[in-house]
Structure formats: structure tokens, C-alpha cells
Amino acid sequence: MHFNPYGGAAAQIAVDLVNLGDAADPAALTAVFKDRMNTVPAVRESESTEIIAWTARLRNVFEAAPDARVDLVNALLHDSASKPYISTHDGKAPHLHYVDAHAGTVPRVRAYTAGGLAHLVCDAPDRFGVCSREGCETVYVDVSRNGRRRFCSTRCATRVHVADHRTRQAS
């Protein structure tokens, strides 16, 4: 499934941040942003603390039922001080930006991830969540064709299916 840049790349950054969890350090955060959002400079220690706190709020969206996600994402958008505007930088076609290009790292990360989850909630509310394998807390965005993903990875899906098969064989 193809999402717009905010629903795709920004939502995937939200996934990466949530999956890093509380143990994320500035180097790990910098790596996420360098991979997917190369306009963010190296994350400082003070910024990482704020981003980790924001990440806990992002996790709440993935864990919530689809009907509760709208309020959670609206709160994220409100608190990110998101002020959308159309940009045409670097010869690109007109596209939305959610925060001033000169804003600091934390406001940019907040606006970008809140915007990404907002597009995801509007465009594909059933295509993201937490892995269904018991004990796995990994979040994901489902970009498969049929939109029926329940697990974060093939490994988790295989573990569940093998366990189910063994249970059926034993009985």
C-alpha cells in the first residue's frame, strides 16, 4: 500500500521510535532520523529525553482501538504546535510541511510523527498496531497488499503458527 510522505515515512519513523523504547539514546535516535529524515541533525542528550517522552505517547496510538485513535492523534497534533503549510523547496512539487524548517529537532520530530499518524488514522485506520504474538510489544504499519497483517515480522507469525500447529498435533 502506498501512503503519502507523512503517512508513510513519518508513520514509519513513529514505528521506529516506539520500537526503540525507553532505552533509546541520542546515537540510536540520530540513526533513525538519518535513515528516514536526513534533515535532522545529531540528537543531543536533552533532546533525546523529550523525544523518548513523546514516543510513549506515540505508542498509545498504536495500542488504542481504532475508534480511540482520533482523539489521541488530535492531542498529539495540538501539542506538537503543528502549523501546516505548503512548501516547494529544492525544486520539488508543492507538498505539506507541518512545522517551520528552522524549528529545532524536537518540534520537528513531534510535528512530523503526529502528522504521519494523522494521515494513517485518516487513510488506513486498520493498518497499524501492536504485534499479536503474546509477549511481543513491537509496533508496525501494514503496507501489505491485502492489509491483514497481525504480526510485526515473519518470525513472530511463524512462532505463533508453529505453536498452534503443535497444540493441534498434541490433542
Neighbouring CB atoms inside 10 A of 53's CB total: 11
Task: Look up residue 10 and give its three cell numbers.
Answer: 513519518
Question: Looking at this protein, which amino acid is placed at residue 106?
Answer: V
Task: Look up residue 140 and give its three cell numbers.
Answer: 508496525
User: Domain limits of the chain?
Assistant: 5-170
How far, CA to CA in Å, does 13 sit from each of 50, 110, 167, 170?
Answer: 16, 11, 37, 42
Measure the CA angle with vertex 88, ends 14 and 100; round to 5°.
50
Residue 88: the pLDDT is 87
**H-type helices in the chain, by residue range?**
5, 11-20, 26-36, 45-63, 66-79, 105-123, 154-170
CATH class name, domain 5-170:
mainly alpha
Task: Look up residue 79 and give its three cell numbers.
Answer: 501539542
HSE, CB side, 13 Å, CA atoms: give it for residue 38. 1
Residue 22: the pLDDT is 83
How far, CA to CA in Å, does 127 sit from each of 28, 51, 52, 96?
Answer: 26, 24, 24, 22
Each residue's pLDDT, cut to its tens digit, for the chain (171 residues) gives 455 544 578 899 999 999 999 878 999 999 998 887 767 789 999 999 999 999 999 999 999 999 999 999 999 999 997 778 888 888 888 877 788 878 889 998 999 899 999 989 998 888 899 999 999 999 999 988 888 889 999 899 999 999 888 988 988
Place of cell 492523534: 73
